[in-house]
Structure formats: structure tokens, C-alpha cells
Amino acid sequence: MLKAEIIAIGSEMLTPFRSDTNSLYLTRTLEERGIRVVAKTIVGDDQKELVRALEVAFVRSGIIICTGGLGPTVDDLTREAVAEFLQVPLILDPELLQSIEFRFRERNLRMPEANRKQAMIPQGGTALPNHHGSAPGVYIAAREKQLFLLPGPPFEMEPMWERYCVARLPQDEPVYRQIFRIAMMPESRVDELLRPVTSELQETTYTILASVAEIEVHLLAPDRAREEAQHAAEKVRKILGNRIFTEGLERLEDVVGALLRKARRTLSVAESCTGGLLGHRITQVSGSSAYFERGVIVYSNLAKIEMLHVPEDMIARYGAVSAPVAITMAEQIRQISRTGLGVGVTGIAGPEGGTPEKPVGLVYVALADEKVTRVERYNFPGTRERIKFTASQAALNLLRLRLMEP
């Protein structure tokens, strides 16, 4: 597989306030062409560090893409660093200077002297036009490697990449990629279950990505190893079964929406600790009005009693965070809304309010339909935000599993 790497240049990305997103965009097109990104580096506006990064990159990869540091200011040092590293002079490109001057004249401005340096190109390089800003890009083929210098702002970098760079990339064989998304399983558990498959892979790359209450597994292979990857995918399906909620990029709420639509069923929800998050996620799906009837946030005890007729003595006896209350919430909202399905969620999101018997993260989710009401008890770790999200994820996943039953 061809190897590429990306160097993001800019001191702001070494602060807590900005992150490098250009490399995410670039990685997607590279992968589509069968080119593997083997490393990413972020360096500040520092010529010495940049030269050092180029030295490492040239050892490791055939394609090196730098973004940022092409502006006119003194802290924009990419050109200088590349010239130093390649030991070539920076040469003024008169045509490029004219086109930069023209950009300013078009706007009735005089070109500041500082912008002159943007017309300087490391010897042997080709200027790449920038239709959305003043900084031209540069393409250099040197030491049997390809080096691209692109501007930092995404709206300048992306069109330049599309229009002037992609065609210069070598085309490796097409790539086979298989994605699986799994809800409500810890990363370590998924990894462990898949070990028998993943430990045998020769040419297929296995990646596991974790976010809150969701795991993504990728199998990536060059075309010649397609059979191996397909075989592995088949085994993954066998091992994880219906714990996989999609083999595409849909969100869990999309999958639930599609199932409800297909089954022509309707849904209402009663939320306490998720504070409307579940309803929000359900209604993030376009067309959700076809199946989502209503949601209520019954946060206080009084709300549960008044709106959903949860018996007062039930709350007194079991507490608002309890299986009986979750069940009543689900059954009542279902009945009041006259929907096929009703969900009730109650829990302790924390960080305060936990007790030894009812710790922070304790959540009950109940699901009622015309036949049965089921309730699940969970103990979620993490922050308030995380617990709320995981609770909404648990509710969506229960819905999904219920809707998949015959």
C-alpha cells in the first residue's frame, strides 16, 4: 500500500482552542484511492521544528502533505522550511507575483509588500492556484517523493486539493472497506470477542473506534485481499449478530426510525434524567413525524404524578428512580398518546444526588408495547453528559431490538 502523511502547521493547533481538521478531510480522499495515511504531525510556526518534521516524513512516506503556514506574515514559514530541507533556493515566480497583484487590484487594493513572498517557490516546485485566497499552494516532486504544500484555511485548502492535487496522486488498487457499528458494548469486550478473527488477518487492517456508548469496527484491505476481508466480515457478523446496528454510517436513531417506518408503528417517550435528549435524537431524523407522536419531560415527581398518573405512593415506596416508575412512565405515555410503543427513562445523571443504594449512573429504561412491558436497569459510568447520552442510547437500542423481533 502507498503511504502518505500529513503535517498540519500552525501554533494555534498546539493550544487547547483549535484542532487540525484538514487532515480528516485529506485522509478520506487518500483512503478512497488506496493510499494509507501512516502518520500525522502537528507543528507550530517554527522553522526548525518544521524541517525536523519533514526529515522524518521523507523517511517514512511517499506522499507528504503540509497544510498551513503559506500566508504572507512572518510566522508563515512553510516555504522557507521546505527550501531549507530540500537545500534549494526560493525563486520568485513573476507570473505568480502578477496573479497575486491582480487579486488585490481586482478589489481596488494595493498589494502589501509582505505578500511578495507568496510568489516565492522552492526551486523545482509548481505553483497551485488559489481561487479562494492569496496563498498559492506548491507541488514538488523531490527525492522520489511527492510533496504538497496547501494553505491552512479549509475553504482554501479543499478546492485546491480537489482541483490541482488529487489528479497528481498515484492510483493504488481500489480499497475494500467494511464498517460495523455496535451500540451499548464496551470497546474492550468487542475487541476481545473479535480477537479470533482479527488475530488471523494478513493483509486486512482492523481498526476499532470508540465513542460514547458506540463502537465502530473497520476492516480495510487492498483489492487483492478483498476475499480475506469479506471472509473476516462474515465472521464478525456471526460473532456480534444483532449487536451490530448498521454496516453503514447511519446513526442509531436513523436505524430505529427506519424500523418504525417499515413496521408502521408509532412511538412516544417520557423522559426524566435525559431531559429531552431522547426526543431530540429521534427528531434529528428527517421524516420522524411519520412515527414519533410526542415526548414529555417529566422531571419532577409532581410532573410524573400529574402528567403520567404515576401513583404517589409508588414514588414514596420505590423512589422516582426505580423499575416500577419507569414501567409506569412507559405504559402511561403509550396509553395517553395512543401509540404502539412507549418509552420511559428515569435515572440519576449526577454528579450529585447519588446514594449507596442508588448511585450516580443508575438508570432504568422501560419499553411498553401492546403485548409486554420490559424494563432494564443500568449502571453507567462517567460524567452527567455521558450518562444522559448513554441512557438515550440504551433506550434507542432497546427499541431497535424490540422492533427486530418477529
- Are 99 and 118 contacting, i.e. CB atoms less than 8 angstroms apart? no
Interaction partner, residue 10 (Mg ion, ligand ATP, none; CB < 5-8 Å by kind)? ligand ATP
122 binding ligand ATP? (CB under 6 A): no
Q: Which residue is nearest to ligand ATP (CB)?
A: 71
369 binding Mg ion? (CB under 5 A): no
Residues of this chain, 239-298, that bind ligand ATP according to CB under 6 A = none
- Are 356 and 297 contacting, i.e. CB atoms less than 8 angstroms apart? no
For β-strands 214-222 and 205-211, DSSP reports them as: antiparallel
Cβ neighbors of 14 (< 8 A, separation 6 or more) are: 42, 44
Residue 180's SS3 state is: strand
Determine which residue in the list 43, 51, 64, 70 makes contact with ligand ATP, applying CB under 6 A.
70
Residue 9 or 221: the one with the smaller Cβ distance to ligand ATP is 9
Determine which residue in the list 53, 58, 69, 402 makes contact with ligand ATP, applying CB under 6 A.
69
Residue 9 or 366: the one with the smaller Cβ distance to ligand ATP is 9
Residue 153 or 276: the one with the smaller Cβ distance to ligand ATP is 153
Distance of alpha carbon 173 from alpha carbon 157, whole angstroms: 26
One-letter amino acid for residue 163 of the chain? R
Query: What's the closest the beta carbon of residue 22 comes to ligand ATP, in angstroms?
Result: 4
154 binding ligand ATP? (CB under 6 A): yes
Distance of alpha carbon 222 from alpha carbon 36, whole angstroms: 10
Helices (H), 309-383: 312-318, 323-337
- Upper half-sphere CA count for residue 372 (Cβ side, 13 Å): 6
Residue 149 or 260: the one with the smaller Cβ distance to Mg ion is 149
The string of DSSP codes covering 126-150 is: EEE--SSSS--EEEEEETTEEEEEE
Residue 132 or 235: the one with the smaller Cβ distance to ligand ATP is 132
Distance of alpha carbon 210 from alpha carbon 363, whole angstroms: 22
Using CB under 6 A, count the residues that bind ligand ATP: 20
Query: What's the closest the beta carbon of residue 73 comes to Mg ion, in angstroms?
Result: 6
User: Which of 339, 398, 340 lies closest to 366, judged by CA?
Assistant: 398
Query: What's the closest the beta carbon of residue 9 comes to ligand ATP, in angstroms?
Result: 6
- Are 154 and 132 contacting, i.e. CB atoms less than 8 angstroms apart? no
Q: Between 61 and 100, how does the x/- string for binding to Mg ion read (CB under 5 A)?
A: ----------x----x------------------------
Residue 9 or 326: the one with the smaller Cβ distance to ligand ATP is 9
Distance of alpha carbon 179 from alpha carbon 248, whole angstroms: 6
295 binding Mg ion? (CB under 5 A): no
One-letter amino acid for residue 313 of the chain? D
Q: Between 8 and 47, how does the x/- string for binding to ligand ATP read (CB under 6 A)?
A: xxx-x-------xxx-------------------------
Cis preceding-peptide flag for 351 (omega within 30 of 0): yes
- Are 202 and 220 contacting, i.e. CB atoms less than 8 angstroms apart? no
53 binding ligand ATP? (CB under 6 A): no
Determine which residue in the list 125, 151, 279, 361 makes contact with ligand ATP, applying CB under 6 A.
151
Using CB under 5 A, count the residues that bind Mg ion: 2
Residue ranges in contact with ligand ATP by CB under 6 A: 8-10, 12, 20-22, 67-71, 76, 133-135, 151-154
Binding site for Mg ion (CB under 5 A): 71, 76
